[in-house]
Amino acid sequence: MVIGVKAHLSRGLAYSNLSKHQEAIQDFEQVDSLTEKYISQLEDLSDKLPVLLTQVKSWYLKGVSERSLKNHENSLKSLDKAIKLGKEYNKLVTESNQKHPIHNYYMTRGLIFNDQKNYEKSTKNFRKFIKLCPEEGNNNMELFIANHNLGIGLEKLDKEDEAFEAYSEAISHFGKVSDKEKQWKAHSGSLDTYYYRGLLSEKKESSMKCIADYDFVLRYNPNHLHAHQHRAAVLYHLKEYEQAIESFTKVIEHDPKDFTALFNRGMCYKFVGELAKSVIDFNQTTKVNPEFFKAYSELVRVLIKLDEKDPQRLIPLYTKSIELIEAGKVNKDDIPNDQSIGAIYFERGVQLVKDEKYQEAIDDFTSAIKKDGKFVDAYFNRANVYRRFLKKPEKALSDAEKVCELDETDVDGMMEVAMCLYDLDKVEDAKKQFERVLKTKPDHEPARRYLDYLNDDTEE
């Protein structure tokens, strides 16, 4: 072979190993320049083949160095040349064991196309590599890498079923790597394959399959945050709340300000009956994200379940919820319609009555009615406050009659109408209303006592 070719090739390799890629490229260009002139002078095939093989290797190594410099366009041109010359070389050799393994060139070209987000071309190159790469020998790691990256490309092309198969094939090849237990720990990318497959299983709602993949990832990397996040979400969906709590806790340990994990763990505690712990999580959620609407609404519900008697603890939570609603900071999914909004005003109104803030309670019941004109309980409670606490039986009567209009069988509404008529000294009308209550519910003792009292009073 022409003098200097081997020297340039060897020095180029050395530069490449030292990450001096620009210098390496210059040496590989020298190899091509020298061999191009020399090979045209050769007639004997046995002389020509070694020179041609040197050209193949030089173009490939040049492409690798150019990729390292992020010069993707030049790298692809060099790899195209290497593949073309490699095919020519392999056609000329007579023995199969003499053929040059150009499948690796397709792998490198596929990785560049992945870098460029050209997934149509990247997947074609990875498939070509897989087709040409012999499965015997020590090629399992390379086949793992190719199938892994093929899966990524296929996912980007929305070919999720094929991507799932590619990830599974990658995992199969990695399982054949010698000392694989050590390799699982050493190669985080191999765990990503399980993670990506788990994500696809999760999309398909193959819940137990994705849990198995996430568990495998966490076995070798207990701090894999995203695996914990997705594992927790799936377990929550499956109502496996105790296990979900474990994963949400891991996420929170990694990031104490992850308000979504805090809230979801609070929901898990609520569902397993550990209400005091859910209160802690919901409270913390509101501190980390003061605009997280659902945390306030769930906190109120849990406190009421815990028999919270102090309205001054509950009212601020309702108030914050209402502020977020009025500011347009609540997702439609969290509060889908006006009836839902009305319910929050109504519930705050109930607490305001307990706190003896009667006019504010009236305002909230009125807001609830504006949101839902058929809100029976809002009309009833407003009537009750008007009559009992604000001593406005005329207004109370209008609301109580509205209750009966909306629900003709509402005994409490009938009774409220009767009490309003009584307070307005409309005795005969009140008696008829108490009789109506008793006709609907014969064992209604308060109605009977009032009717007996009015009848006795009339007789006197």
**Tokens read off for 418:** 């009767």
Has residue 310 been placed in a domain? no
Looking at the fold, whether 124 and 212 belong to one and the same domain comes out as yes
CATH number at residue 176: 1.25.40.10
Has residue 420 been placed in a domain? yes
> What's residue 363's pLDDT?
98
| Structure-model confidence comparison of residues 188 and 373, the more confident one | 373
Has residue 306 been placed in a domain? no
CA distance 392 to 384: 10
Looking at the fold, whether 96 and 145 belong to one and the same domain comes out as no
Query: Could you report how far apart the first and last alpha carbons of the chain are, in Å?
Result: 136
Eight-state DSSP code of residue 133: S
Looking at the fold, whether 384 and 459 belong to one and the same domain comes out as yes
CA distance 51 to 63: 19
Q: Over range 137-161, report the average pLDDT.
A: 93
Domain that holds residue 453: 374-460
Judge if pTM exceeds 0.85. no
Looking at the fold, whether 85 and 4 belong to one and the same domain comes out as yes
CA distance 401 to 407: 10
Counting residues of the chain whose pLDDT is more than 70, the rounded percentage is 96
Looking at the fold, whether 84 and 165 belong to one and the same domain comes out as no
Domain termination residue (choose one: 190, 222, 254): 222
Looking at the fold, whether 114 and 212 belong to one and the same domain comes out as yes
Looking at the fold, whether 70 and 127 belong to one and the same domain comes out as no
Task: Give residue 84's pLDDT band: very low, low, confident or very high (50, 70, 90).
Answer: very high
Least confident of 28-42, 178-192, 280-294, 423-437: 178-192
Looking at the fold, whether 92 and 118 belong to one and the same domain comes out as no
Looking at the fold, whether 30 and 122 belong to one and the same domain comes out as no
| Structure-model confidence comparison of residues 179 and 385, the more confident one | 385
CATH number at residue 84: 1.25.40
What interhelical angle do 411-423 and 445-459 show, nearest 10?
A: 30
Q: Where do the DSSP E strands lie in 223-370?
A: none
Domain termination residue (choose one: 202, 222, 242): 222
Q: Which of 182, 180, 181, 119 minimizes the C-alpha distance to 154?
A: 119
Looking at the fold, whether 12 and 88 belong to one and the same domain comes out as yes
Looking at the fold, whether 41 and 62 belong to one and the same domain comes out as yes
CA distance 251 to 51: 58
Domain termination residue (choose one: 36, 65, 100): 100
CA distance 125 to 132: 11
- Decide: 255 and 228 in contact? Cβ < 8 Å: no
Eight-state DSSP code of residue 247: H
CB atoms within 10 A of CB 271: 15
**Tokens read off for 198:** 């788990």
- Decide: 340 and 317 in contact? Cβ < 8 Å: no
Number of domains in the chain: 3
Has residue 257 been placed in a domain? no
Task: Give residue 434's pLDDT band: very low, low, confident or very high (50, 70, 90).
Answer: very high
Counting residues of the chain whose pLDDT is more than 90, the rounded percentage is 82
